[in-house]
Structure 1
Amino acid sequence: MVAPARRIAAAICSYERYDLLPGAIESALAQSLPSGSFDVVVVDNSSDPVRSAQEAAAFAGRPGLVWHHEPRPGLSNARNVAARLTDAPLIAYLDDDARADAVWLENIAGCFDQFGPAVQVVGGRIRPWWGAPRPDWLADEMLGDITVVDLGPERRLLGDGEWVAGANIAFRVSALRAAGWFDTSLGRTGGGASLLSAEETALTDRIKALGGKVAYDPLAAVDHWVDPERLTQRWFRRRAAWQAVSDYLRDPRARLARSDESWAAVKGFLLQQNPANRTLRGLALEQVGAAEFRWQVSAVYNAVTALLAGLDERDDL
């Protein structure tokens, strides 16, 4: 019997998440596609190669699994390494703290097949796997900050302004190569010390600029762990600040052009606070309501954007 051609690779890039990583690997191995038609590539970015080898030993002999310890830090680099370790034409990235549905890869591959060569990026639904109860102040509009993605029930092409997330995103490897791979100046390095992001958005933008299209498949779904430490207002404010840095690095001209608008938005927020809180304190105080907190987080984002663009405030003479 002729073995099926390898259609797709599932890539899991990890940094010292050995508590959650095995579950992600098991979900990637337990896919509905025929054995031999997909492989699972684990790129372990931990600082300890001995520990990495010990963890890899638990998966020794599992068909279709490649475990690679990558000493150079950085998520973007690890993703590029994973793409070079497979001979499959498609690669789907799964976070190490996510669990893929059994039909995840089948639907991603099917989405590429349905729309043809023009579609070079496919993303799927990302459901929250709550590590603690959802706070009352966390509005639906802010769920994207914890990588919740639900663009509806239909497999379809995405329109302008719609996006998919790196916890569940797939590419044609040829498109990655043509667009110059993931930008290693973006993306997180060394766990959670930095929340720099936007690497998959920047790459997708370059692919679209070359004529590629992006599609969404709701049945290519995963559950994504929401760590309790992320369910604090402090984390969301920090997340907003790093998103501003990421967006500025990705498209500085656009952010510069909006610097006055960003600064006006910050002043608009602060002027609605009590006089004693019309300083940086107003950007750090705990908020009671969801609407107030969403406004504060937006002000944090705009404040960092304005600072990066260069403030020029003067008293009236």
Structure 2
Amino acid sequence: MMGAAEGTPARISVCIATYRRPDLLGALLGDLAVQTRLPEQIVIVDNDAAASAAAVVNDWRARLPRIDLSYEVQPEQNISLTRNRTVALADGDLLAFIDDDERAPPHWLAELEAALLRFNADGALAPVLPVLPAHAPEWIRRGGFYDRYQMPTGSVVPPNELRIGNAILVADRLRWLDPVFNPDYGLTGGEDGDMLLRLVNGGARLIWCEAAAVSEPVPEARLRLGWILKRAMRGGQDFARHFRVGRFGGRPSTARSVMFFARAASQMVTAAGLAILTLPVGRHRAAYWLGRACANFGKLSVLLGWHYREYAQPPAVTARIDGTAACR
């Protein structure tokens, strides 16, 4: 069913796209080294033309003699091309995806594989739990802006919650897609939702695995209202882009499109008003409604052909394990 010969264990490749986070990547490789279910292969593709991950990969290659550790540089700045290269290099029956700034407990890979088998699914997605630093503003804690989706194991993942940051997929399913990750999303983000929606629309069954949660430190740069609002706007743009190309039940008619964008305009105005009205109650409430306004603005901005390119001009810093940043 999963590409492995009958009666033999599936071969698992862990796919990691990385960019200027050598310390965090090293910590993740340390987690993968002590998994109760070791992967047969780890594929790392570096989107930094300077190959900033090379040293840490070479260090861990010597420590992981039982695991095939593959590393390549993909110099063009594009997250889709980078992810596609990980898939091209992976030779597993199952492909596990995890981000370079996440931490995986020892049972992570075993739980993902077990859920896939138990529910006879084509893929399993799992939670990414944010870890806020001790000094995070109270309004951010109260607002839950970094809380991630959770639900019972075995549940079918709804279309608007499809993410690749913590997942395992049957490799044969990905081979149906061309491209796997669309390069048009390479600087804006949203490539993971687009890919998973195409899988689902092609008949794939993706389920949830609550027990395979990983953690992710929230860096200092994201503890700001501006970042939260920009991410909300990008989420709205992603949703509208998927809607317009028919990822949610077929390409929409003109009437359905008019209703979609009219509703976005109405909700944007309403949310902006609620942001003003709720500010005396608490900054976290006003920020929530501002986020909703920005998300709907993001939907409307797609009509103008404008896309926020979140990954086009990243800061020239290297993330560290403690969530701070070191100047390069």
TM-score with structure 1 setting the length = 0.79
Match of 1:173 among 171, 174, 193: 171
Q: Which runs of 5+ in 1 are unaligned?
A: 190-195, 278-284, 311-317
* Other-structure match for 2:240: 248
Distance 1:77 1:286 in 2: 46
Confirm or deny that 1:184 pairs with 2:183. yes
**Which letter does structure 1 place at the counterpart of 2:209?**
D
* Other-structure match for 1:314: none
Distance 2:37 2:299 in 1: 45
Contact 1:122 1:169 in 2 (8 A): yes
Matches within 5 A, 1:108-127: 108-116=112-120, 119-127=121-129
**Which letter does structure 1 place at the counterpart of 2:288?**
R
In the TM superposition, what whole-angstrom CA distance separates every residue of 1:220-264 from its partner, at most 9, and x where no partner exists?
121112112212111111111222222232222576541111112
Q: What SS does the corresponding residue of 2:90 show, helix, strand or coil?
A: coil
Match of 1:87 among 80, 85, 91: 91
Distance 1:233 1:286 in 2: 17
Aligned in 2, Cα 1:20/1:216: closer, same or farther, shift over 3 Å? same
Q: What SS does the corresponding residue of 2:181 show, helix, strand or coil?
A: coil
Contact 1:120 1:207 in 2 (8 A): no
* Other-structure match for 2:286: 292
Aligned in 2, Cα 1:160/1:238: closer, same or farther, shift over 3 Å? closer
1:132: how far off? 4.3
**Which letter does structure 2 place at the counterpart of 1:53?**
A
Distance 2:33 2:165 in 1: 17
Contact 2:240 2:299 in 1 (8 A): yes
Matches within 5 A, 1:199-210: 199-210=191-202
Match of 2:73 among 69, 77, 87: 69
The percent of aligned pairs where both chains have the same amino acid is 20
* Other-structure match for 2:50: 48
Aligned in 2, Cα 1:287/1:203: closer, same or farther, shift over 3 Å? farther
1:184: how far off? 1.7
Matches within 5 A, 1:1-317: 7-33=11-37, 38-49=40-51, 51-61=52-62, 62-63=64-65, 64=67, 65-116=69-120, 119-138=121-140, 142-143=144-145, 146=146, 148-151=148-151, 154-158=152-156, 160=158, 163-180=161-178, 181-187=180-186, 189=187, 196-252=188-244, 253=252, 257-271=259-273, 288-309=282-303
Distance 1:147 1:198 in 2: 18
Distance 2:14 2:158 in 1: 27
In the TM superposition, what whole-angstrom CA distance separates every residue of 1:175-211 from its partner, at most 9, and x where no partner exists?
1111331112114x4xxxxxx2222221111111111
1:73: how far off? 2.6
Distance 2:50 2:281 in 1: 41
Q: Which runs of 5+ in 2 are unaligned?
A: 1-7, 245-251, 305-328
Aligned in 2, Cα 1:207/1:307: closer, same or farther, shift over 3 Å? closer
Q: What SS does the corresponding residue of 1:99 show, helix, strand or coil?
A: coil
**Which letter does structure 1 place at the counterpart of 2:285?**
A
Q: What SS does the corresponding residue of 2:215 show, helix, strand or coil?
A: strand
Aligned in 2, Cα 1:273/1:233: closer, same or farther, shift over 3 Å? closer
* Other-structure match for 1:193: none
1:90: how far off? 0.7
Distance 1:307 1:125 in 2: 30
* Other-structure match for 2:5: none
* Other-structure match for 1:281: none
1:267: how far off? 2.4
**Which letter does structure 1 place at the counterpart of 2:194?**
A
Q: What SS does the corresponding residue of 2:124 show, helix, strand or coil?
A: strand
Q: What SS does the corresponding residue of 2:183 show, helix, strand or coil?
A: coil
| RMSD (Å), alpha carbons | 2.8
Contact 1:130 1:225 in 2 (8 A): yes
Contact 1:97 1:224 in 2 (8 A): yes
* Other-structure match for 2:312: none
TM-score with structure 2 setting the length = 0.76
Aligned in 2, Cα 1:57/1:251: closer, same or farther, shift over 3 Å? same
**Which letter does structure 2 place at the counterpart of 1:298?**
R
Contact 1:120 1:213 in 2 (8 A): yes
Distance 2:111 2:78 in 1: 29
